[in-house]
Amino acid sequence: MDVVHLMPSFSLTHFVLVSILAASIALFRRSSSQMPSLSVVRAANAAFSPSYPPTAIFVGGTSGIGQAMAETFGNYTQGNGRIIIVGRNRASAESILSKLPPSKIPGAPHEFVQCDLTLMRNVEKATKDLLARVPKVNYLVMSPGIMTMSGRDETEEGIDKKFAVHYYARWKFTRDLIPALERAKDEGEDAKVLSVLAAGITGPIDLNDLGLKKGFTLTQAGLQAPTYNDLMIESFAALYPKLTFIHSAPGIVRTTLMATSPSPLLRATSSLLLGLTYPFSRSPAVCAEWMWYGVWNTAKSRSESPDAKGSTSIPGAWRIGEKGQDVGLTRYFGSEEARKKLWEHTEEAVRVKEA
């Protein structure tokens, strides 16, 4: 993800204003005085030492936040965990994995699974492959992103590419891999799903135009995809109460997503925007420390802590901020009706049609 991870699909004007304002809000509303220092967080993360070798899948892990989270996980587990990176760039993934301590788990090396997330048939192929070879999953981390100023850009499956990457592919990865997540939990291990997008930076959704086929604008797409993610984690938490589902807002992170955008204007202004937001932003490595801290410490499952009920209206569903903190119901637009209608819409939208 990029410095605009907060609002993935805004016009340039909105992007500048919202990025700076959101950063200021993050600095003051989500006060660092209520959170431990980064050194304390790193020490807490370094203490992560489960009695079993965990398996972590990183969807969108070939760059940015996903890459940093994979690297952080690898450095802390020191080969006593399995890392699977899912994305498009094989060369990048292999470079990342080559620099990490190799897996010490017999028959379970670190690996890369190639997948263009804009097409649900590709997601289904990837998840079937994973389920056939990976007996359990402890952490499913999803952070793929796309930065573009184009309008609705449908795939051949009828889904806008931005929505496909920021929501539909994440939903399908989660649903398809539930058996492996539940298997880990049944064996007494941690099992959590993290979707990195924009928790607490959301907007109301139109239940009569889910997927924005009729009223698509970049602003609406940028606001509604995070709300879809809120509803997604709640729906999964309600259906699978043994598991923990998390939607996070990473803050403003310095990555290359904007510089590699298909939109020439975004590429041309990426350096300027990086400079403007630099005082408010953080490196992917620092972001990864806070995200893992939130996963391992804030967002606890009910089996880990009887008092850990979740931060939304559904137990087991959490919304966390840029320092891993619980953001509660900040700018929350969920409801039972919205969850039901979005779930039904999504089931149909991601269904892979026979050729």
**Looking at residues 166-185, what average pLDDT do you find?**
98
**Looking at residues 208-219, what average pLDDT do you find?**
90
Closest residue by Cα to residue 4 from 221, 320, 238: 221
**Looking at residues 262-279, what average pLDDT do you find?**
58
Highest mean pLDDT among 60-74, 146-160, 260-274: 60-74
Radius of gyration (C-alpha) of the chain in whole angstroms: 19
> 3-state DSSP call for residue 245?
strand
> 3-state DSSP call for residue 241?
coil
CA 125, CA 114: separation in Å to the nearest integer? 10
CA 346, CA 343: separation in Å to the nearest integer? 5
Where b means 16+ CB within 10 Å and e means fewer, 63-73 reads bbbbbbbbbbb
The residues pairing with 59 across neighbouring beta strands, listed in sequence order, are 86, 142
pLDDT at 306 over 60: no
**Looking at residues 134-144, what average pLDDT do you find?**
97
pTM exceeds 0.85 for this model: yes
Residue found by looking up tokens 């959590």 in the block = 192
Task: Report the mean per-residue pLDDT for the chain.
Answer: 85
pLDDT at 172 over 80: yes
- Which stretch of DSSP H or E encloses residue 267? helix 264-277
**Looking at residues 260-268, what average pLDDT do you find?**
55
Token reading at 134: 């990976």
pLDDT for position 21:
45
Domains of the chain: 37-350 (3.40.50.720)
**Looking at residues 195-216, what average pLDDT do you find?**
93
pLDDT-above-90 percentage for the chain: 67
Do β-strands 55-59 and 139-142 pair in parallel, antiparallel, or remain unpaired? parallel
Torsion of CA 236, 238, 239, 243, to 10 degrees: 70
pLDDT for position 221:
83
Judge contact between 232 and 306, C-beta under 8 A.
no
DSSP string, 15-73: HHHHHHHHHHHHHHHTTGGGS--HHHHHHHHHT---SS--EEEEETTTSHHHHHHHHHH
| CA distances to 16, 216, 249, 347 from 233, in Å | 29, 24, 14, 15
Order of all β-strands in the sheet with 139-142:
111-114, 82-87, 55-59, 139-142, 192-196, 244-248, 317-320
What's phi and psi for 306, nearest 5 deg? -60, -25
CA 126, CA 124: separation in Å to the nearest integer? 5
pLDDT for position 253:
80
Highest mean pLDDT among 220-224, 281-285, 325-329: 325-329
pLDDT-above-70 percentage for the chain: 79
Judge contact between 112 and 89, C-beta under 8 A.
no
pLDDT at 288 over 80: yes
More confident of the two residues 144 and 262: 144
pLDDT digits (tens, 9 = 90+) for 35-67: 789 999 999 999 999 999 999 999 999 999 999
More confident of the two residues 215 and 159: 159
Judge contact between 320 and 23, C-beta under 8 A.
no
pLDDT at 283 over 70: yes
Judge contact between 23 and 5, C-beta under 8 A.
no
Question: How would residue 143 be classed by pLDDT, with cut points 50, 70 and 90?
Answer: very high
Closest residue by Cα to residue 65 from 195, 223, 202: 195
Please count the other Cβ atoms lying within 10 Å of the Cβ belonging to residue 91. 9
**Looking at residues 330-346, what average pLDDT do you find?**
95
Question: How would residue 19 be classed by pLDDT, with cut points 50, 70 and 90?
Answer: very low
Token reading at 204: 């109301």
